[in-house]
Amino acid sequence: MAHGSTRPTSRDVAQAAGVSQAAVSLVLGDKWRGRVSAPTAQRVREAAHELGYRPNLAARNLRLGRTRTVLLVVPALTTEFFAEVYTGAARVAAQHGFGVVLYPSPEGVGPARDPFASAQAALDGIIASSMAADALTAIRGDHLPLVMLDSDPEGSHGATTVNLDIADGIRQVTDHLLTLGHRRFLHLAADIPSWTFDVRARALATRLTATPGTDLRTVSAPISIDAARTATEAALTAPGPRPTALVCDDDKLAAGAYKAARRAGLRIPDDLSVTGLDDLGLATAIDPELTTVRLDAEAFGERGMRALLAVLEGQAPEKGDLPVNLVVRGSTAPPR
Amino acid sequence: MAHGSTRPTSRDVAQAAGVSQAAVSLVLGDKWRGRVSAPTAQRVREAAHELGYRPNLAARNLRLGRTRTVLLVVPALTTEFFAEVYTGAARVAAQHGFGVVLYPSPEGVGPARDPFASAQAALDGIIASSMAADALTAIRGDHLPLVMLDSDPEGSHGATTVNLDIADGIRQVTDHLLTLGHRRFLHLAADIPSWTFDVRARALATRLTATPGTDLRTVSAPISIDAARTATEAALTAPGPRPTALVCDDDKLAAGAYKAARRAGLRIPDDLSVTGLDDLGLATAIDPELTTVRLDAEAFGERGMRALLAVLEGQAPEKGDLPVNLVVRGSTAPPR
DNA sequence: GCTCTCAAGTGTTACGTATAACTACCTCGG
DNA sequence: CCGAGGTAGTTATACGTAACACTTGAGAGC
């Protein structure tokens, strides 16, 4: 609402066009065929444009009982991953006349603030990343249609789940490293309780226990370059035979590992092969470029939004995980 | 709204508590002192909690004529910079009972889609980055209170502007390089029409023309690592004396420059000093760590939100640009 | 000439909330 | 005993929209 004069309503438009408010609603709602004559409709449209009329969305939402607005709950936007998820979701949403409101759960841990209080919006549904699960207690109160991203299909209390095939990505990474001849593995795990990271650990362990003669150690750190560096440095300087392959839960952790390797005097990939997961811009910014698993974040967001739209229309969402694929770059090589 | 049963309204709560709907509104709106007895108020709160009542925001917004929601228009979220701006803005907003809806203008160029159609929200005001200026034509239609981030204070048609003191940042960078002994400069400029980048070019040129014996060339590229690499590589292999200092419009461009230098066989900082601007996480992920200008994106978002709140309350916003400061790391050294 | 149908509208209502205006009861000072 | 003032509520209304139910006039069909 402007400061000085109040903004025009459909009634003002009606008066300007010399028709009733109902006629304005019909015309602007594109439901006028057979109810209003073409010249009248044109007059209404002109009057609306003349006055700079914009429908009051609060009133429309109240009347219709739905908002065509969806909430996307993500962890803090510290990488571009969820920004791309948002882009994909918003694109599909726009095609269906929906809007997407982004709710990045506050950086710090602890139970998130009420997303509804923050994103003052009235909502039709929610898409939430499992990494922002602490926000979900507040969410589950309202039992809005809910789509969970990268979440345990079993433990999601009936919410629809949309997943990337992360396990397959880790299998591809592991096979790549095994084929190169690596046997001693270190897993740099993300120190965040989330199904999506459990999957990584499980897939890696499964593959390696099935391969005789291999060895796996694990170290974990919060997802930050500094924390990853510290944790990796400790692991690399620990007693015992040094691992030759370092599998990181994501690209950011890998970037931290690069710095640890450098400090420890190890060259990548000659002394240590490193892999990431995500394929962020960061992956090609560091030297050598990172061998990693490409996740199509936009497609992920699109799929999530399509699933939610399906739920809203009472249809069945698409099944199956989204494929991922290994991108081999310069950070992996046969062990010396 | 849930699928099966309809969700409870304040009238349902009233009935459950044995009071009128008005009393419920008073109690839950915390305006009951002296109007409703304490035991009754308690009963109402219990009934509301029991039923899982959530006020219908569409109805509230309609009634109040304001939404306590603000739109933040930013360029695509390809770095964490605007994510942090959002964080700061959202924090201040939450303290005042406001929500922030994020509208990243679509990646592609061209006039942006109508932000209102996308973010279905009814809005009280707008904060917009000058880098997303193409979205503004649609915005200026509704004359909502508007705060512009990093925008020309003169040419903003009366919108409030909130700026970082980028010019001072560039001055600090330039002085640092001059003190180290550099005389031949290359400016890697962002190929985006925006006041914030004009400021950089002007500040750099001003400082260098005031310093006899210096030389400045300029090359520009879109803000992407690959584009920056290509442009820089061309400039570094051009005929004539090679620049010894490369001033980049932001950190991402600097990361591209690193790759160009590597390809050209130049070592940083021995053969070429490089500076960035932003201090993204990227700045410390690359090797050597980047000398850059630290922009406090969260403070920027906070300041922007406070300015908008001031405008909404008819007060005068804070004046003065936000300070920035040089962070010297390993990418700058005296020329050989 | 009468009914029937159809086009082109209009009148009215409800969505759920916040609040202004009102009421009824009680207490207490004079 | 009366009114002033406070307490504890209630009733009624408006916000702007969408859509249902209704009206009116004109022409078609017989």
The Cα–Cα gap between A298 and B77 comes to 13
Interface contact B58-A119, CB threshold 8 A = no
Find the residue in A nearest to B94 (Cα). Answer: A118
Q: Quick count: other Cβ atoms within 10 Å of Cβ B333?
A: 18
Q: Smallest CA–CA separation between A189 and chain B, in Å? A: 18
* Pair A40, A78 in one domain: no
| Total structural domains within chain B | 3
**Segment A28-32 long-range contacts (CB within 8 Å, at least 24 positions apart):** A28/A55
Say whether pLDDT at B2 is over 50.
no
Is the separation of the CB atoms in A284 and B225 below 8 Å? yes
Residue B140 pLDDT: 60
Residue A1 pLDDT: 36
Helix segments in A52-114, DSSP class H: 57-64, 81-95
Rounded to the nearest 10 degrees, what angle do helices B195-209 and B166-180 cross at?
Answer: 40
Q: Which residues pair with B187 in a beta bridge?
A: B218, B247
Return the CATH number at A25: 1.10.260
A285 vs B139, residue with greater confidence: A285
Residue A84 pLDDT: 92
Which amino acid, A96?
Answer: H
The Cα–Cα gap between A296 and A294 comes to 6
Residue B157 pLDDT: 76
**CA angle in degrees (0–180, nearest 5) for A266-A272-A275:** 130
For A260, the enclosing helix (H) or strand (E) is helix A251-263
Those residues whose beta carbons lie under 7 A from strand D are A 6, 9-11, 21-22, 25-26, 28-29, 31, 53, 55-56, 59-60, 62-64; B 19-23, 26, 34-37, 39-40, 59, 62-63, 65
Most confident of A89-103, A242-256, B74-88: A242-256
Find the residue in B nearest to A254 (Cα). Answer: B285
Domain assignment present for residue B332? The answer is no
* Pair B46, B73 in one domain: no
Interface contact A57-B120, CB threshold 8 A = yes
Mean pLDDT of chain B: 91
Residue A185 pLDDT: 98
Nearest Cα residue to B268 out of B283, B282, B257, B252: B257
Say whether pLDDT at B85 is over 60.
yes
> Which of B49, B69, B102, B331 is the mutation pick for testing A, counting most A CBs within 10 A?
B102
Say whether pLDDT at B226 is over 90.
yes
* Pair B303, B280 in one domain: no
Find the residue in A nearest to B53 (Cα). Answer: A142
* Pair B42, B23 in one domain: yes
Give CA separation, B16 vs B6, B40, B50, B261, in Å: 16, 12, 9, 73
The Cα–Cα gap between B295 and B169 comes to 9
The Cα–Cα gap between B234 and B231 comes to 5
Is the separation of the CB atoms in A78 and B80 below 8 Å? yes
pLDDT-derived band at B76, boundaries 50, 70, 90: confident
* Pair A262, A152 in one domain: no
Helix segments in B181-224, DSSP class H: 195-209
pLDDT-derived band at A119, boundaries 50, 70, 90: low
Contacts of A176 by beta carbon, 8 Å cutoff, 6+ apart? A275, A291, A326, A328, A332
pLDDT-derived band at A88, boundaries 50, 70, 90: very high
How many angstroms separate the CA of B24 from the C1' of D1?
Answer: 38
B14 vs A78, residue with greater confidence: B14
| Length of chain A measured in residues | 336
Domain assignment present for residue A86? The answer is yes
Structure tokens at A193: 């309780």
Domain assignment present for residue A226? The answer is yes
* Pair B263, B173 in one domain: yes
pLDDT-derived band at A109, boundaries 50, 70, 90: very low
Using DSSP, state whether A217 is helix, strand or coil.
strand
Q: Which residues pair with B327 in a beta bridge?
A: B292
The Cα–Cα gap between A253 and A221 comes to 8
A178 vs B97, residue with greater confidence: A178
Find the residue in B nearest to A255 (Cα). Answer: B285
* Pair A222, A290 in one domain: yes
Domain assignment present for residue B329? The answer is no
Is the separation of the CB atoms in B146 and B239 below 8 Å? no
Mean pLDDT of chain A: 91
* Pair A268, A306 in one domain: no
Is the separation of the CB atoms in A300 and A130 below 8 Å? no
Which amino acid, A6?
Answer: T
Domain assignment present for residue A335? The answer is no
Q: Smallest CA–CA separation between B211 and chain A, in Å? A: 34
The Cα–Cα gap between A310 and B36 comes to 46
The Cα–Cα gap between B289 and B330 comes to 5
Helix segments in B219-296, DSSP class H: 225-236, 251-263, 282-285
- Mean pLDDT across A115-129: 78
The Cα–Cα gap between A331 and A276 comes to 10
Say whether pLDDT at B195 is over 60.
yes
The Cα–Cα gap between B336 and B321 comes to 37
- Expressed in angstroms, the distance from the first to the final Cα of chain A is 69
Is the separation of the CB atoms in A249 and A189 below 8 Å? yes
* Pair B129, B206 in one domain: no
- Expressed in angstroms, the distance from the first to the final Cα of chain B is 69
Domain assignment present for residue B321? The answer is no
The Cα–Cα gap between B249 and B223 comes to 9
Neighboring chain B residues of A126 at a CB cutoff of 8 Å? none
How many angstroms separate the CA of B114 from the C1' of D16?
Answer: 22
Say whether pLDDT at B307 is over 90.
yes
Residue B109 pLDDT: 39
Using DSSP, state whether A219 is helix, strand or coil.
strand
Domain assignment present for residue B176? The answer is yes
Structure tokens at B192: 């985006």
Nearest Cα residue to B282 out of B234, B239, B223: B223
Residue B155 pLDDT: 78
Residue A130 pLDDT: 83
Most confident of A52-61, B31-40, B176-185: B176-185
Say whether pLDDT at A14 is over 80.
yes
Neighboring chain B residues of A61 at a CB cutoff of 8 Å? 58, 61, 120
Using DSSP, state whether B184 is helix, strand or coil.
strand
Q: pLDDT tens digits for B261-293?
A: 999 999 999 999 999 999 999 999 999 999 999
Domain assignment present for residue A303? The answer is yes
* Pair A151, A220 in one domain: no
% chain B with pLDDT above 70: 91
* Pair B36, B158 in one domain: no
Q: pLDDT tens digits for A142-176?
A: 678 999 999 999 877 778 999 999 999 999 999 99
**CA angle in degrees (0–180, nearest 5) for B142-B301-B29:** 70
For chains A and B, count residue pairs whose Cβ atoms are closer than 8 Å: 165
Q: pLDDT tens digits for A17-72?
A: 999 999 999 999 999 988 999 999 999 999 999 999 999 999 999 999 999 999 99
How many angstroms separate the CA of B169 from the C1' of D21?
Answer: 68
* Pair B172, B270 in one domain: yes
Those residues whose beta carbons lie under 7 A from strand C are A 18-23, 26, 34-37, 39-40, 59, 62-63, 65; B 6, 9-11, 21-22, 25-26, 28-29, 31, 53, 55-56, 59-60, 62-64
Quote the domain boundaries for residue A44. Answer: 10-55
A4 vs A267, residue with greater confidence: A267
The Cα–Cα gap between A254 and A228 comes to 8
pLDDT-derived band at B30, boundaries 50, 70, 90: very high
Residue A139 pLDDT: 61
Interface contact B122-A87, CB threshold 8 A = no
Q: Smallest CA–CA separation between A7 and chain B, in Å? A: 9
Return the CATH number at B261: 3.40.50.2300
- Mean pLDDT across B156-168: 91
Tell me, what DSSP letter sits at residue A130?
G
Structure tokens at B321: 């640009």
